[in-house]
Structure 1
C-alpha cells in the first residue's frame, strides 16, 4: 500500500490492479460502532443496535470485525453505523487478564474479608503508601489514586472474566502473541475460603501453554469455510481443491452428454447457473473430500414453459429408523451407495437453454449457449425426473414400492427378502448376505455412476454405530450439533455460572 519513487509515486496495489485502492472501508480503529440486531434476535421493544468497538476488516469475510462491549465477543457484520469521533468508554470494558499488569512469580495478594458497613466512608489509601505487609497491592500502577477498597471487586471481576473465558470455547476468540508486550497474568488460584490468590506460578504457565496448544489444534481441524461463489472459491486457501472438484463435476457433465452448444435462440429466456461448493465430512467430523456442483437457477423458470409437474417423494425418517431397527434385530447387511450426479440421468421433456458455466466457457464459443438434453441440479422438475428414472430401473430388477412409502423398494426371491431405501441420491441396501449386497451393487453400477460407501456409518446427518454382537444400532448427531454451535457461535452469549458454582 506504500507508494515508492521507483513506481512514480504509485502503490503496488495500483500497479497490479490498475486502480487506486478504495479507502471506503477504512475506519478509525477503536471507534464506536453500532451493529444492527436483526428481527429474529430481538423483540419488538428491544434495542435495534448494540454498541461495539471497531477492530478492522477480516481477511476472508465480508463486513467489519468488531467486539461487543458487553460480552467481549468478536462479531462480524456489514450493517454497522460508525461514530469515528466517538470511542467506547473504557469503564464499559471489564478488566481482562490479557491487559492486566503482570506480577512477578509467586507474588501473593491478600483479599480482605467483608467488613461491616458504616456511615463513615473509608478514607482512600494511595497505592504508593508504605505498608507493613511486604506483599504488593493489586492496584494498577497507572492509577496511584485508586483506593485499596476496590481490590476485592477487581479480583472478583478478574475471576469471573477468566472463568467465563474458560467456559466459552467457541472459535470466535483469537489468541494474539506479541513478544514486545509483557507476559499476561495467569489464571488465579483461590483457596477454599477465597482469601488468597497465587498468580503466575510455573504450574499455571505450563497449563496455559497446554491450553494454547489445544486451541491451535482445534483451530487446525475446524470446518473448512464453504465459499458462496466460484470467484470467492478461487481466492481461498483451498482454491486448488475447489478447482479440482469443479473440473470433476464438469467432466461428469460432459461424459453424461447433459447439453449441447447451440446458437442463442431468439425470444427464449436463457437461464444462468452457479457453482455450489460443499465439504464432505466423515462420521467423526474429519474432512473427507471437496465437492462442487453446478446448479441452474431454477427460480427463473416459468410454469407451463420450462416445467409442469415437480413433485418427488423422499423416504420418511420414521420409516428409515424402522428399517435400521429391523436390520439390527435380524442381523442383516446394511450398505450405503451414493449416485454421482444423480439428477443428470433423466431426460427432459421440456426445451431449456442455459448459459455456459462460470470458469468453463469454451474459448471462441462464448456466444453459444447450452441446450439441456438431460436434467440438471436446480431445475424444478429435476427431482421428479430422477425419481422416475430410478424407479423404472429398480422395477426392472424385480423390486416394487411399498404402499406406505414409495421410496422403499422390496424384492423377495426364493424366500430371501432385500430392501433398497432411497433418499434422493443416497441409497441404502439391506440384504441378508454380503453376496446379495454385491449382486445389487453390480447391477446399480452398470446403470449409474455410483460411489460404494460400504457399511453405513454416516447417513443424512446421522452418525450410525452398530453393535452386531448385541444386535443394536445407536444413532446420534454429534457432528451436526458441533457444526450448529460453530455456525451460531457469534450469537451465543457467554455462559453464566449458577449461584452454587460461585
Structure 2
C-alpha cells in the first residue's frame, strides 16, 4: 500500500489500520462464506464508501481564519477510516495534521508522489544534509514539534523521537549526519523523493520490536519473501490466460489441485494405456473468479474441461438434450413463494457433472501441468462424465432426477426441472437450473430435511437464502420479494464506457423513429451486437426497456451511428434508473390474468405490426414480450387479434405450469383494448376480413370455447401491455412502469 501510494514509511501504522479495516469487510472466510465483519456483527458490511489508500482529496477549511483571497480548502490525502465516528482520516498537507472528517472531496486520479519530498518505501536513499532545490510543490515550513514527556531510559541516546499517532502530527526536519557529504543520488531515484524531512530511529527500544530479536534483520534481498507469503494468503484477483500462468500463482495452484482432488474422490477416471484405433480427446483448464452478490471475489475456481468439439456423434455420444428452467419459471417460483409467504433458499452442487456414470468408451489426455512423470504417455479412461462432453448435462440431469424420484419427489409434467414433495399437507418445491438449485416450503423443517438429503448423495454448497441466481439479485423482505439487476447494470455500463454518461429519464422519446439509414456512417457491428446482447439479458427484470431493446435489435446486421446513438440512450436511461426492480408483494390475490396489445403497422420499414403482451399472478408480473409480427396485418383488428392469440398461448403454458403447484386456473381473463379483436375471438364467423388469417392464429377461439380463457375488452388507458408496443413521453411512461409493478429501491 505504501509503495503504490508512494507515501513514506512514517505512515506504516495508518496503512496497517486501513488494511485491517478493509480486510475485515471484504475478505471471505471460506468455511462460512462470510466476512469477519458479518460473522461478528451479523449483518453484511457496506463497501461502497471505501477509497484507495493515499489518494488525493481536498478538505474544507472551517477552522482557520481565511483571507479574502485565501483557499477555502486544503489539499490532503487519504490515510484511513475513523474508529469512533463515521468519518475519513486524511492528512492535511498545509497543517501536517491527520484530521477526521466525512465531507471530503475526492480526487482519486491524482497521485501523491509530489506531496512529500521524501524517500518512499520502494526507494530509500541515504539522507543528506545538502539542501536540494524546491520541487513542484512549495511545502511551507513545518510548525514547531509537539513534545511529549518521556523517560530518558525509554529512548536510546542515538535515537530521535517520533511523536505517537495520538498527536496526529508529522515530525519536522532534523539534521541527520550523512555517511558521505559528497553522496549523489542514483539515476534510478526519483528527484522528487530525494529531500527527506522525516526523522528516523536507528536503534529501536526492545519493547517496540515485533518478534524475536535473535532472528536478526531481514535484508533487502529477503524482503520479497514476505510479500509472496502475504500475497499467497489472499485470493487472486487476476484470471490467468493459460495453465502456465496459473502455475505461477499459489492461489490458482490450490484451485487446480482442489479440482483434481474431486476427480480422485469421485473416481472419475483411471490411468490406462491407449488402446489401438482409439484417439484421446484433449483437455483444457478454464479459470474464473467467483464473486458474491456484491461483486467481491470469494473463490478462485479452476475447471478441467474436455475439448468436446473433438467428439464424434454416434461414437462418443448420442443424446445430448437436458432441460433447464426458463426465466419465466423462476419468476413464477418467486411469485408463489411471495404469495405463500415462505423463504426461498439456494444451494449449489460442487462438480455436478462428475457424478453421472458414462456409457460410452472415452479416453482423454492427462491434465496440462499435472502429467504423471512415471507414465507421461498414458491416457485417462472416463468412468464418469466430465465438463465439456456433449452428453454431460444430460447425464447429470438423469442422475439428479433418479435420485430425487427415489426420495419421494415427483417431477413436473410441463416443467421438467420442477420437483415437488408433499408431506402432511405441506408442499416442498425444488427448481433446478443445471447445478444451481432453489427450494422452499411453508414448513421450514422440510427445507432442512432436503438439505440433508442432498448432502447425503452430493457435495453441496449451502448458500442460505436466495439472493443471487442466474444474474438476478433477489431481496426477500418481510412484505415481499424484490428482483433487480443493479450489479449487472453497473458492470455493462463500465464495460461499454458509459458509467460517466449523463442519465436520461426515458429510453426513447415518442418521436423516435429508426430506419436502415443507408447514408449513415457504419459502426463496429461486433460492439453493437454485444451491447444488444447485454441489454437483452437485462430484460429479465427490466420490462421497461424491452421494447426499446427489441427495436434496436432489428438493425444488428448493418448498424449505423444513428442506431448506436439510440442504444447509448438506453444505457444512459439505465444509468439514472439502476435501482429499479420488480416487486412481488406477499399475500393477497393470486389469480392469473393477462394483457395483450398491438401497434398496427408500427414498423416503418416493412409496415409490420408489433405485439406486446404480459401475464400476472396476482400483482406479480411473471412474463412479458415485445415482438414484431411475422406478417403484415390489413387492419388494427387483425393485428390485435394476432397479438391476443400469442398471449393466449403463453397463458395456456402458465396454466399447465401452475398445475404442478396444485393450482388450477380456468377462465383466465385476457384483456384486449380492441373490440374487433374481441369479436373475432368470440364469434367464429368467416368473412372477407378474416378469411386470410392463418389457421394457427385461430387457436384462441378454441381456448375461448373450452373455457381456458375469457377475452375481455378494456380501456386503452388501462392497457398495461401498451409499454411493449411503442414509445411514450415521460408522464405516460412512468404511469405504465408503475402499473407493471416496477419500483425504486
TM-score, normalised via structure 1 length? 0.54
Quick check: which one's helix share is greater? 2
> Are 1:226 and 2:234 matched, yes or no?
no
Match for residue 182 of structure 1? Answer: 136
Q: 1:496 to 1:330 in 2, by over 3 A?
A: closer
Match for residue 490 of structure 2? Answer: 482
C-alpha distance in 1, partners of 2:503/2:107?
11
C-alpha distance in 2, partners of 1:497/1:431?
42
Are the counterparts in 1 of residues 426 and 443 from structure 2 also a CA contact under 8 Å? no
Query: How far 1:345 sits from its partner (Å)?
Result: 0.6
Match for residue 312 of structure 2? Answer: 302
Match for residue 357 of structure 2? Answer: 347
C-alpha distance in 1, partners of 2:459/2:439?
16
Q: C-alpha deviations, 1:148-180, integer Å up to 9, x for none? A: xxxxxxxxxxxxxxxxxx9999xxx79684679
Match for residue 337 of structure 2? Answer: 327
Query: How far 1:475 sits from its partner (Å)?
Result: 1.4
Alignment match of 1:401 (pick from 411, 416, 429): 411
Match for residue 283 of structure 2? Answer: 273
Query: How far 1:273 sits from its partner (Å)?
Result: 1.0
C-alpha distance in 1, partners of 2:502/2:491?
22
Q: 1:432 to 1:497 in 2, by over 3 A?
A: closer
Match for residue 457 of structure 1? Answer: 467
Are the counterparts in 2 of residues 230 and 275 from structure 1 also a CA contact under 8 Å? yes
Are the counterparts in 2 of residues 168 and 494 from structure 1 also a CA contact under 8 Å? no
C-alpha distance in 1, partners of 2:405/2:382?
27
Q: 1:418 to 1:342 in 2, by over 3 A?
A: same
The 5 A counterparts of 1:44-443 are 177=113, 182=136, 224-235=237-248, 239-443=249-453
C-alpha distance in 1, partners of 2:411/2:354?
23
C-alpha distance in 2, partners of 1:442/1:350?
32
C-alpha distance in 1, partners of 2:429/2:437?
10
C-alpha distance in 1, partners of 2:476/2:290?
22
Q: 1:351 to 1:175 in 2, by over 3 A?
A: farther
Are the counterparts in 2 of residues 333 and 437 from structure 1 also a CA contact under 8 Å? no
Query: How far 1:382 sits from its partner (Å)?
Result: 0.3
Q: 1:264 to 1:481 in 2, by over 3 A?
A: same
Q: 1:183 to 1:402 in 2, by over 3 A?
A: farther
Secondary structure (helix, strand or coil) at the match of 2:348 reads: strand
Q: C-alpha deviations, 1:443-472, integer Å up to 9, x for none? A: 11111111111111211112211112x1x1
Query: How far 1:497 sits from its partner (Å)?
Result: 10
Unaligned runs of 5+ in 2: 1-65, 70-104, 118-134, 139-233, 505-745
> Are 1:446 and 2:456 matched, yes or no?
yes
Query: How far 1:228 sits from its partner (Å)?
Result: 2.6
Query: How far 1:234 sits from its partner (Å)?
Result: 3.2
Match for residue 473 of structure 1? Answer: 481
C-alpha distance in 1, partners of 2:406/2:303?
30
C-alpha distance in 2, partners of 1:222/1:478?
25
Secondary structure (helix, strand or coil) at the match of 1:337 reads: strand
C-alpha distance in 2, partners of 1:331/1:485?
35
C-alpha distance in 2, partners of 1:494/1:337?
36
Unaligned runs of 5+ in 1: 1-104, 109-165, 185-220
Moved segments of 4+, more than 6 Å: 105-108, 166-169
Match for residue 98 of structure 2? Answer: none
Q: 1:223 to 1:323 in 2, by over 3 A?
A: farther
Secondary structure (helix, strand or coil) at the match of 2:450 reads: helix
Are the counterparts in 1 of residues 347 and 460 from structure 2 also a CA contact under 8 Å? yes
Secondary structure (helix, strand or coil) at the match of 2:366 reads: coil
Query: How far 1:335 sits from its partner (Å)?
Result: 1.3
Query: How far 1:313 sits from its partner (Å)?
Result: 0.9
Q: C-alpha deviations, 1:228-273, integer Å up to 9, x for none? A: 32112234xxx22111111111100111000000012222221111
C-alpha distance in 1, partners of 2:316/2:389?
9
Comparing 304-313 with 173-182, which one deviates more in the overlay?
173-182
Q: 1:183 to 1:496 in 2, by over 3 A?
A: farther
Q: 1:318 to 1:167 in 2, by over 3 A?
A: farther
C-alpha distance in 2, partners of 1:300/1:168?
53
Q: C-alpha deviations, 1:116-136, integer Å up to 9, x for none? A: xxxxxxxxxxxxxxxxxxxxx
Are the counterparts in 2 of residues 167 and 495 from structure 1 also a CA contact under 8 Å? no
Q: 1:413 to 1:222 in 2, by over 3 A?
A: closer
Secondary structure (helix, strand or coil) at the match of 2:335 reads: helix
Are the counterparts in 2 of residues 309 and 381 from structure 1 also a CA contact under 8 Å? yes
Are the counterparts in 1 of residues 236 and 300 from structure 2 also a CA contact under 8 Å? no
Alpha carbon RMSD of aligned pairs, Å?
A: 3.1
